[in-house]
Structure 1
Amino acid sequence: MQLSKAPEIERFLKSPDPSVRVVLIHGRDRSGVGERAERLCKTVTPDLNDPFNVSLLTETDVEADDGRLENALSALSMMGGRRLVRLRLGGERVPQEKALAAVLKGHADGQFNADAVWVIEAGNLGRDSALRRAAESQSGAVGIVCYEDETGDVARMTREALQADNVGLTREALDRFVARLPRERGLMRQELERLILYIGPGSGRQIDEAELEAHLGVEPQASFQDAAQQAFGGRAAACQGGLRRAFAEGEAAVAAVRAAGQHLGRLRRISAAIASGQGAREAAKAAGVFWKQEAEILRQVKVWSPRDLQEVTEAVALAEVRTKTTGLPDRLITERLFLEISARARRLGL
């Protein structure tokens, strides 16, 4: 069985089906994968460091192929109750994937200790992954896909975290903060903690947009986001300025390429929503556009056609690969990408 929608994932993590013996949690956001895995594991045993009931294995243990995984799945709990076996895999490539998929099928069918719960944490697995296919096809297994959090989910998590510490943001400040948050769960939690410390935990204070801006300051990632917006708006000089501010802070070029990809994705989502009949402002809000940027974003949406956006998507993907693999100066690759986007925007009339 596959779970990919936030409500169904939340229901499962709170109260997992006792007939499920294997859970594969995977996605690009490794912090999100780890966070969900930990929540699930705590429903099996409250002490995740219990040496008698918990086995923690890594990718190295799988590569060794010395029977440790099968032994962990076969072991009985010394204290009674369910055992927990955690397997953490590194990147998107899974070592001995077919062998792991075979073990998964066997454990889901009850061939090892039927009271052992096996939780696997992995990177982004494609639909052709043998491990993913096995988890989604077995009746005793579940595959959970962790996609990037939607804007509404991020806003909800932010409100809940602030309320838990008795602090708050005005509506405008909340919109601004959510628009600036990274979508990687670990970084998101860090930014929330930093904001709560700034406001004062337990103080009952609520800050407005002006005070929030004083806290945020000029961040490198914000410079990348601004550079991407300027590039798609056809403003080459302003675009270069944003890039160079971030580079001066030591930020990696690949982060700038990803910022371009995020802006591109936002334009595509808004364009698709409008094409399906949604109002322009509603589409922009649903895509997480900060209200002060709404007019500029909608101006760009009117000009960038789906075909133009697709061509830029390919250019962004190629630039990201080049920054990681070619050995060429990654900042020059990034600047060239942004200037090409800016030049195309000017040719389109922006």
Structure 2
Amino acid sequence: MTAIKQPGLESFLRKPDPSITAVLIYGDEAGAVRDLAARAVKQIAGSTDDPFAVVPLQDGDLSGNPGRLADEVQSLSMFGGARVIWVRDAGETFTKAAKPLLDGALSGNLVIAEAGTLPKSSQLRQMFEKSARALVLPLYEAESGELAGLVESILGNDGLRIDQDALHRFIELAGTTRSLVRREAEKLSTFCQGSAQVRIQDVETICGNTAAADPEELADSVMGGDVSGADRLFHILKDGGVDPGRLISAVHLHVMRLQDLKAAIETGASPDQAMRSARPMIFFKRQPKVKRQIRIWPTAELLSAGSTLGHAVQQARQNAQLGGAIASRCLLSIARRALALQRDQI
């Protein structure tokens, strides 16, 4: 089937067509793809984490056993009811495994698959677009009108109105990432409960720092002991499509840099000299934060943090489905350790 837009998917989810056996959601905005796939799974199965109703698979899970997809499609739920096969990072292996499903040789449980950017030449995309048994939903960069409608819908569901100035400011701050816009709009709605109108001051209070989030800021929050800030930035970046494993790696690289700076200082350099000699250079506005982190962390503790992060990077690579949980647990644990070290120094 040719590509549909989001309203087409929502219409299908409200009243599923039994002739449709698979849904493919793809695009370069990983957070939005994951968010929409999760909502589709929940709409059909009633949950995203019920092991009896949802079967999560990765493309790699099918590499040694391509027949597993067919087995899961034809399997019955232990307690009855709808069952969904949720395939993440769909690629070449899934393409081969899904062919009998789209050709009509198989039927049963619905398959909802996520993929990244797929060019027109992609076999997976072509196969789904040609099949009458599939729905295909590409997610391109959202336009401001679509985002504004999303924000107004979320706020409106909670009985809130937002004027155009406040809405424009919200889009400016939250950016064009659908999943992040949804998350920030839900936070704004919670913050404004009890009011009828969302003001521009409310928007700036809730969303003022969203656009500035980057992995370096996350690293500074973690190593500086800002536990709540680290948690907030982690979710902003993850929901914005940054792979959790990359976030662990970014903090790991920063810890290795702190180790080098600490070593330079312990061999006679002043903190300022160590900063000036650092390569790549440390932006001058960031230097006070880095100096503070050097004071907080003893060398032995930095080595321990580096080891913990390196192990977490490997875990996230080996268990992509658990990458978010692994990253969150690791980064917040280190942030709490930084906070404890600061308290010990008082």
The answer, yes or no, to whether TM exceeds 0.5 is yes
CA distance in 2, matches of 1:79, 1:190: 33
1:208 aligned partner: 199
Q: Residue deviations 1:33-79, cap 9 Å, x none?
A: 22322333244322444434432112331233364323212323444
Q: How does 1:227-238 map to 2 (within 5 A)?
A: none
Matched, 1:158 2:158: no
Instruction: Quote the Cα distance in structure 2 between the aligned partners of 1:81 and 1:249.
Output: 45
> Is contact 1:82–1:115 with CA below 8 Å preserved after alignment?
no
State the alpha-carbon separation in 1 of the partners of residues 111 and 143 from structure 2: 28
Contact 1:81 1:115 survives alignment (8 Å): no
Q: TM-score, normalised by structure 1?
A: 0.55
Secondary structure at the counterpart of residue 2 of structure 1: coil
**Amino acid aligned to 2:56:** L
Query: 1: CA distance between counterparts of 2:189 and 2:7?
Result: 27
Task: Please give the alpha-carbon distance, in whole angstroms, between the structure 2 residues aligned to 1:4 and 1:330.
Answer: 47
Partner of 1:221: 211
For 1:247 and 1:61, the matched residues in 2 are separated by: 32
Residues 195 and 330 from structure 1, CA distance in 2 versus in 1: closer, same or farther, beyond 3 angstroms?
Answer: farther
Question: 1:13–1:36: 8 Å Cα contact kept in structure 2?
Answer: no
* Aligned equivalents of 2:51, 2:72: Cα separation in 1: 12
Any conservation in 1 of the 2:155–2:189 contact (CA below 8 Å)? yes
Change (3 A) 1:74 1:215: closer
Counterpart among 101, 115, 119 of residue 122 in structure 1: 115
What is residue 19 of structure 1 aligned with on the other side? Answer: 19
SS at match of 2:55: strand
C-alpha distance in 2, partners of 1:69/1:15? 24
Q: Deviations over 1:173-226 (max 9, x none)?
A: 112212322222332223223323433x2x024243355445544x373699xx
Q: 2:182 aligns with which of 189, 201, 208?
A: 189
Q: Pick the aligned partner of 2:165 from 154, 172, 175.
A: 172
- Taking a change above 3 Å as real, the CA distance of residues 330 and 147 of structure 1, as seen in their structure-2 partners, is farther
Contact 2:13/2:44, CA 8 A, preserved across alignment:
no
Which amino acid in the other structure matches residue 103 of structure 1?
A
Tell me how large the CA RMSD over aligned residues is.
Answer: 3.7
Q: Is 1:131–2:124 an aligned residue pair?
A: yes
Describe the shift of the 1:31–1:16 C-alpha distance in structure 2 as closer, same or farther (beyond 3 A): farther
SS at match of 2:147: helix
> Does the 8 Å CA contact 1:181/1:188 hold for their aligned counterparts?
yes
**C-alpha deviation, 1:80, in angstroms:** 4.5
The answer to whether residue 104 in structure 2 is matched with residue 110 in structure 1 is yes
C-alpha distance in structure 1 between counterparts of 2:116 and 2:81, whole Å: 30
Q: Which amino acid aligns with 1:109?
A: D
Superposition pairs of residues 35-46 of structure 1, within 5 angstroms? 35-46=35-46
Q: Are residues 330 and 149 of structure 1, via their aligned partners in 2, closer, same or farther at CA, if it must alter by over 3 Å?
A: farther
Secondary structure in 1 matching 2:72: helix
Q: Distance in 1 between matches of 2:66 and 2:97?
A: 14
**What SS does the corresponding residue of 1:64 show, helix, strand or coil?**
coil
Structure 2 unaligned spans of 5+: 223-232, 238-278, 284-346
Percent of aligned positions that are identical: 30
Instruction: Tell me, in whole angstroms, the C-alpha distance in 2 between the residues paired with 1:210 and 1:56.
Output: 42
Contact 2:85-2:110 at 8 Å conserved across structures: yes
Contact 1:27 1:145 in 2 (8 A): yes
Give SS of 1:121's match: strand
* Matches of 2:213 and 2:67, distance apart in 1: 50
What's the offset of the Cα at 1:89?
Answer: 1.1
Task: Tell me, in whole angstroms, the C-alpha distance in 1 between the residues paired with 2:151 and 2:37.
Answer: 21
Alpha-carbon contact 1:83-1:117 (below 8 Å) kept: yes
Show the 5 A alignment for 1:283-302.
Answer: none
CA positional deviation for 1:120: 0.8
1:1-350 to structure 2, matched below 5 A, reads: 1-65=1-65, 67-80=67-80, 82-89=82-89, 94=91, 97=92, 99-112=93-106, 114-199=107-192, 201=193, 203-210=194-201, 212-213=203-204, 215-217=206-208, 219=209, 221=211, 329=280
- Offset, 1:143: 1.7
Aligned pairs, how many?
A: 230
Looking at structure 2, the residues matched to 73 and 7 of structure 1 have their Cα atoms a distance apart, in angstroms, of 26
Distance 1:30 1:249 in 2: 24
Change (3 A) 1:67 1:150: same
TM-score normalized with structure 2 length: 0.56
Deviation at 1:248, TM superposition (A): 9.5
Aligned mates of 2:155, 2:120 — CA distance in 1: 37
Give the secondary-structure state (helix, strand or coil) at the position aligned to 1:87: strand
Provide the rounded CA distance (Å) in 2 between the counterparts of 1:193 and 1:118: 29
